[in-house]
Amino acid sequence: MKKAGKFIGRIFIGIVILALIAGAGGAFYFKSYLPNTVAPKSFPQIDGEITVSGLDGQVDIYRDQMGIPHVYASTPHDLFFAQGYVHAQDRFWQMDSWRHIGSGRLSEMFGSGQAETDAFLRTLGWKQTAETEWAQLDADSRAILEAYTEGVNAYLKDHSDTALSLEYAVLGLLSPDYEIEAWTPIHSLTWGKAMAWDLRGNMGEEIERAVLLKTLTPEQVAQLFPAYPEDHPVIVNNIGEGGVTANAGSEAALDYSQVPFENISENVALLDSFLGPWNDGIGSNSWAVSGELSETGMPLLANDPHLGIQMPSIWFQIGLHCVEKSATCPFEVAGFSFAGVPGVIIGHNADIAWGFTNVGPDVMDLYIERINPENPNQYDVNGTWVDFDTREEVIKMSDGTTQTITVRSTRHGPVISDQYGPLKDVGDPEDTEFVPFKDRVSSELPEQYAIALAWTALIPSTPFEAIWGFDRARNWEEFRKAASGFHVPAQNLIYADIEGNIGYQMPGDIPIRKKGDGTLPVPGWTDEYEWQGFLPFEELPYTLNPEEGYIVTANNQVHPRDYPYFISADWDYGFRANRIVEMITSAPGKIDIAYIQQMHGDSFDANAPVFVPLLQKVGVASEFTPALDTLKNWDYQDRADSTSAAVFNAFWRALLKNTFNDDMPEERYYPDGGSRWNEVMRHMAENPNDPFWDDKTTTDITETMEHMIKKSFPEGVAELQDIFGKDMSKWKWGDMHASTFRNSTLGESGVFLIEDLFNRGPFPTSGGEAIVNATGWSVKDGYETNWLPSMRMIVDLGELNNSVTVHTTGESGHAYHPHYADMAPMWAGIQYYPMWWNQDSIIGDAEGHLILKP
């Protein structure tokens, strides 16, 4: 998190100087001229006719009152051409910055301050993987991408610079020679790698375990990474017997005490500002209820994917309709897309609906590679020195200068310990803290080594072919067939259809390891820990019409307790899933859309029933009694207007810090909240003398749980007084936990004039960590919302036109456009708008009708 704001700030040193030189003129430029004169130049035309070369026929685009385009075309080519066109109309800056992330070319836009980030991205090799994927696509998939690309470029042909987006006015001050290039299909495919990274799984936990083993015992580390709880639900309760060999054996007994894995974490953090920081609390919810449980007698499907907070929304809502649906034009679909990618990622067509949550399988392994002491260009494979695969990458800066790096790869994947800080193949003798490797690692570690990353996303495959299959699937069988091509990132696929079926499928490439379970880095110089392929699709968990009448996914354990194969040891711990199941099974009557809206907004905090009674039992000094009294009749809901929620969460933050910070080797590994820490703490609440309760910085006393509670509650109250003052009526959870939507490239520049152009908020926000209304915050950094439900969708399979939705900011990516942030208050208030399906409803609600003519 520290690096996230730091390197963006470096970008804009030149702009700060310009603003200071300009004085009042600079303020006028940013506060009046750019918003009022420049910004409207980029607003898209939504009415009338535009002649565009490359179309087969006329395309009609209706924009409803939320600015959402509904596209009607006669051929698939024109449908995806038009999608590319409207994406470019509304979100080209987002598309442009995303493609530079995917290709490791941020320095071309933002200067040399991004060279380190680009070096890491180039090392991962997303662009090379995407190029291989493009070569492997079938003709239909290529046609979709080519049509989309034509549409983007048709818009770019007639628009440039500030006519595309206000951000280019600011970029022109920083990089005056920057030129916008044409779109290519590779740019779309690299976004699949960026999303796979955002949903990458357990590499952070793998590093954390290795680091904690330097100072804690294996038993203590196991306590901090508990098993998935027996009293929380799994997604699939029953599954057939499989025939694949499970992972065998245990991890290598290596001494990690001097391996600086922390520096890999620093490299990973370089991407946080653009893709959002990884947090093991980040997840998503989805559920489907059968017609037996619903008011309509037909399924209802709900989804709210949780992703890092950003501006504009990660999602672009759209409807894609073949005027006459047929075998040659089979698309009739509505839902949520990514700007830069054709198709609908999450949504429904005329027959089925689907949603996603992240599985979080262990698909990343770190391999410690032994380096030849006499030839650093070689590494050990079963006792034989083998040359690294290498390639040169030239990083271009916005000022025309270049930087060349050499990327090395082993049989496992790219070496991610090159180029970045103190983690090198050999120690640096000039470092004052240098100790020769032979004197600081066990004999089981090589004297010279590098760290390589094996990751399924670096094996060519694209999730978008599966997505396009979902878009045209008509039933469960066709949906599953499409899902079999969804390799990475593995997602929990929730399903419902107009025939009354509900279903679930877990897809993805899940490694079969010869030995080990991927929870710790392993030796790369032996075949002992090699991957032996992937679990066959037919062995992956799925269910159709379970007897319970509902399916719930919330990043909790997927498979039954007796499932024979390893998928992950790092599930979300199921507090959200447990609450969703509880609300479904305790519904006061038949479930309807209004009840699901209440479920989406549920802010029940599972920590509170454990620790509020303990607080009341332990008691506090009289001066803190009024604050404690706010918890007496609290319903444990973290609502935005709740004083009780503010008091409890301030206490919770202090309790986690006081209990664990003294045990952690450095700040990076301090507890940050989330479901794992909920599970750790509810176990420790049953053991008041657990050694973790003891404060190791004190020598005259061995603290217990009671000591920590008595210390933490006053500290939480003091923090609230610092934030709000002593008037408790002003202590509101939503104000301290507010959501500010920041532009992911320019919104954290450190220059308020620029930030004011693009950022919006704060919006008081309810919910919290490990809560159904999952609005994350950081125990380490503060209460502000840092990840959230990126959209909420409820699909009525009985009448698709009754479906409702909302996403976080607005449909437009253009600052000062009416649809730039009009959804944010609705999102914060758990409100919805119609997810129109019928053409009559779309036309009746239309604020614009644009015709594209060939």
Q: What's the half-sphere exposure (Cβ side, CA atoms, 13 Å) at 790?
A: 25
What pLDDT is stored for residue 826 in this prediction? 98
What pLDDT is stored for residue 127 in this prediction? 95
Confidence of residue 452 (pLDDT cuts 50, 70, 90): very high
Is the pLDDT assigned to residue 466 strictly greater than 80?
Answer: yes
Which pairing describes strands 364-372 and 531-534: parallel, antiparallel, or unpaired?
Answer: unpaired
Q: What is the mean pLDDT of residues 367-371?
A: 93
Is the pLDDT assigned to residue 420 strictly greater than 90?
Answer: no
What tokens appear for 424 in the block?
A: 């090198």
Q: What element of type H or E holds 121?
A: helix 115-124
- pTM (2 decimals)? 0.93
Is the pLDDT assigned to residue 422 strictly greater than 70?
Answer: no
Confidence of residue 269 (pLDDT cuts 50, 70, 90): low
- Let me know: does 549 contact 745? Beta carbons within 8 Å: no
What tokens appear for 64 in the block?
A: 């409803």
Name the CA dihedral angle for 90, 95, 97, 103, rounded to a multiple of 10 degrees.
Answer: -170
Tell me, what DSSP letter sits at residue 48?
E
Output phi, psi for 542, to 5 deg.
-155, 165
What pLDDT is stored for residue 277 in this prediction? 53
Give the DSSP letter string of 393-450: EEEEPTTS-EEEEEEEE-SSSBBTTSSSTT--SS--TTSTT---HHHHS-TTS-SSEE
Q: What is the pLDDT of residues 193-213, one digit of tens each?
A: 888 887 766 778 888 898 899
- Let me know: does 285 contact 307? Beta carbons within 8 Å: no
Is the pLDDT assigned to residue 776 strictly greater than 90?
Answer: yes
Q: Provide the β-strand partners of residue 335.
A: 318, 347
- Of 233-242, 736-745, 810-819, give the lowest mean pLDDT range: 233-242
Q: Provide the β-strand partners of residue 454.
A: 365
Where are the strands (E) in 214-351, listed by range? 284-289, 300-308, 316-322, 332-337, 346-349
- Let me know: does 485 contact 476? Beta carbons within 8 Å: no
What tokens appear for 715 in the block?
A: 């500290």
Q: What is the mean pLDDT of residues 441-457?
A: 77
More confident residue, 399 or 250: 399
C-alpha span between 702 and 306 (Å, rounded): 40
Where are the strands (E) in 65-191, listed by range? 69-73
C-alpha span between 358 and 420 (Å, rounded): 29
CA 66 to chain centre: 25
Q: Which of 558, 567, 532 is nearest to 202 (CA)?
A: 567
C-alpha span between 302 and 792 (Å, rounded): 7
Q: Which of 487, 148, 485 is nearest to 341 (CA)?
A: 148
What is the overall mean pLDDT for the chain? 90
Residue type, 680: V
Confidence of residue 238 (pLDDT cuts 50, 70, 90): confident
- Let me know: does 91 contact 316? Beta carbons within 8 Å: yes
Q: What is the mean pLDDT of residues 232-237?
A: 96
Residue 217 to residues 78, 223, 665, Cα–Cα distance (Å): 61, 10, 13
What pLDDT is stored for residue 446 in this prediction? 78
Q: Provide the β-strand partners of residue 846.
A: 64
- Coil vs helix vs strand at 516: coil
Residue 662 to residues 65, 467, 679, 715, Cα–Cα distance (Å): 54, 47, 20, 17
C-alpha span between 357 and 574 (Å, rounded): 13
546 cis-preceded (ω within 30 degrees of 0): no
Contacts (Cβ under 8 Å, ≥6 apart) of 497: 299, 351, 352, 353, 475, 476, 797
Contacts (Cβ under 8 Å, ≥6 apart) of 154: 52, 53, 54, 81, 84, 85
Q: Provide the β-strand partners of residue 305.
A: 284
| List of long-range contacts for 614-620, beta carbons under 8 Å, 24+ apart | 614/685, 614/705, 614/709, 615/651, 615/709, 615/713, 618/706, 618/709, 618/710, 620/710, 620/713, 620/714
Confidence of residue 840 (pLDDT cuts 50, 70, 90): very high
Residue type, 173: L
% of the chain residues with pLDDT over 90? 81
- First and final CA of the chain: distance in angstroms? 49
- Let me know: does 842 contact 70? Beta carbons within 8 Å: yes
Is the pLDDT assigned to residue 431 strictly greater than 50?
Answer: no
- Of 80-94, 240-254, 440-454, 584-598, give the lowest mean pLDDT range: 240-254
Is the pLDDT assigned to residue 266 strictly greater than 80?
Answer: no
Q: Which of 725, 689, 682 is nearest to 708 (CA)?
A: 689
- Let me know: does 550 contact 530? Beta carbons within 8 Å: no
C-alpha span between 712 and 720 (Å, rounded): 13
What pLDDT is stored for residue 9 in this prediction? 40
What pLDDT is stored for residue 264 in this prediction? 58
Contacts (Cβ under 8 Å, ≥6 apart) of 633: none
What pLDDT is stored for residue 248 in this prediction? 43
- Coil vs helix vs strand at 136: helix
Q: What's the half-sphere exposure (Cβ side, CA atoms, 13 Å) at 202?
A: 25
Residue type, 53: S
Q: What is the mean pLDDT of residues 329-353?
A: 98
Number of separate helices (H) and strands (E) present in the chain: 28, 30
Where are the strands (E) in 463-574, listed by range? 491-497, 502-505, 511-513, 522-523, 531-534, 542-544, 550-553
Is the pLDDT assigned to residue 632 strictly greater than 80?
Answer: yes
Longest dimension (CA), the chain: 83
Q: What is the mean pLDDT of residues 816-826?
A: 98
C-alpha span between 795 and 476 (Å, rounded): 17
Instruction: Please state the length of the chain.
Output: 854
What pLDDT is stored for residue 280 in this prediction? 54
Is the pLDDT assigned to residue 22 strictly greater than 80?
Answer: no
C-alpha span between 168 and 172 (Å, rounded): 6
Q: Which of 628, 696, 634, 632 is nearest to 660 (CA)?
A: 696
What pLDDT is stored for residue 199 in this prediction? 76
What pLDDT is stored for residue 194 in this prediction? 83
